[in-house]
Amino acid sequence: MKIAIVGATGAVGREMVLDLEESSLKDIDLKLFASPRSQGTKIDFRGKSHTVEAFSLERLAGIPFVLMSAGGSFSKEHSPGLVAQGSTVIDNSSAWRMDENVPLVVPEVNRAVLKPHHPRIIANPNCSTIQMVVALKPLFDRFGLDMVQVSTYQSVSGTGQKGIAELSAQVEAQLKFKDIKPQVYAQPIAFNCIPAIDVFHPSGSCNEEIKMVRETQKIMGMPSLSVMATTVRVPTFNCHGETVSARLGKAVTRDELLAAFQAGEGLVLVPEDDYASLPTSRTVAHDRRVFVSRVRLPYGQTSSHWVQFWNIADNLKKGAATNAVQILEEILKEM
């Protein structure tokens, strides 16, 4: 099976290599591509060293599946050409997510939109959206869903290698009492929280919040679902956390909520209210699953339409690379 990764030397691209290596897919003939400055880089895959090539459409001719993690403008320019050559492109950027002709896929939630298979672009959703809809799906299926409110705590790896490098350099500078000069973010990220991500919209929302609203509506198949989001960049290297409040279609008990999460696909429920057991950025890093804990109703109520929970996942894994590989696995199941 010929598979290509474009953007293989980036943070998400390298995770795609690891996820493919550990996937159920057998006999993969892997080709790695990146920009000319990364040409010649060596990356190991299943015990063999692979050399990264400079991207060109011609070099990908005859490769049926392309995992794309090279940015939105690059994908806009080259993905249609790849499809014209017969490739299915699973794109990790925001370029195609809201295109009405492009499926936006989280397999646990809406795998049915992948059928029937044919060469096309398939969009990988925003990392913060992916983990939230995985957690919302079992609630929607059992109880209905009327409204979602979410606050995120998003790590610097969501900005890529440059975000990781900036936090690392700033922590070192801060501890040595040196001046911090932010470059990637408008303010220092070390020992700080920045309460907006991406550019602002005239409405007061930032782009990251708008993505969560629109993508959740599309993936859940609920164009009128009310979603309010506040997205925050925090000084952690990996994993995005979320506090999610949802109004369900019917009143439920806490036990009913726990049972729904326990049965949820791709979810790990941590029911214990114990600090040592709570899933955090440190404990779930490099895990492919979505973790849910702190499940509760409004204080003093034994049954309510409103529920709240903590939701956390590795944004480079389930929030990006893992979800893309799972989309590929879903397609191949039907072939």
Structural contact between residues 111 and 104, judged by C-beta atoms closer than 8 angstroms: no
pLDDT at 22: 92
Instruction: Tokens for 42, please give them.
Output: 């060596």
DSSP string, 84-102: HTT-EEEE-SSSSTT-TTS
Annotated catalytic residue, options 78, 206, 239, 240: 240
Active site residue 240: yes
Structural contact between residues 81 and 57, judged by C-beta atoms closer than 8 angstroms: yes
Mean pLDDT over the full length of the chain: 96
Structural contact between residues 240 and 208, judged by C-beta atoms closer than 8 angstroms: no
pLDDT-above-90 percentage for the chain: 97
pLDDT at 335: 79
Mean pLDDT for the stretch of residues 310-330: 97
**Which residue type does 114 have?**
L
Q: What is the pLDDT of residues 182-212, one digit of tens each?
A: 999 999 999 999 999 999 999 999 999 999 9
**pTM above 0.75?**
yes
Q: What is the pLDDT of residues 37-67, one digit of tens each?
A: 999 999 999 999 999 999 999 999 999 999 9
Annotated catalytic residue, options 78, 127, 206, 239: 127
The span from the CA of 241 to the CA of 310, in Å, is 7
Helix, strand or coil, per DSSP, at residue 316: coil
334 pLDDT more than 90 = no
Q: What is the pLDDT of residues 223-247, one digit of tens each?
A: 999 999 999 999 999 999 999 999 9
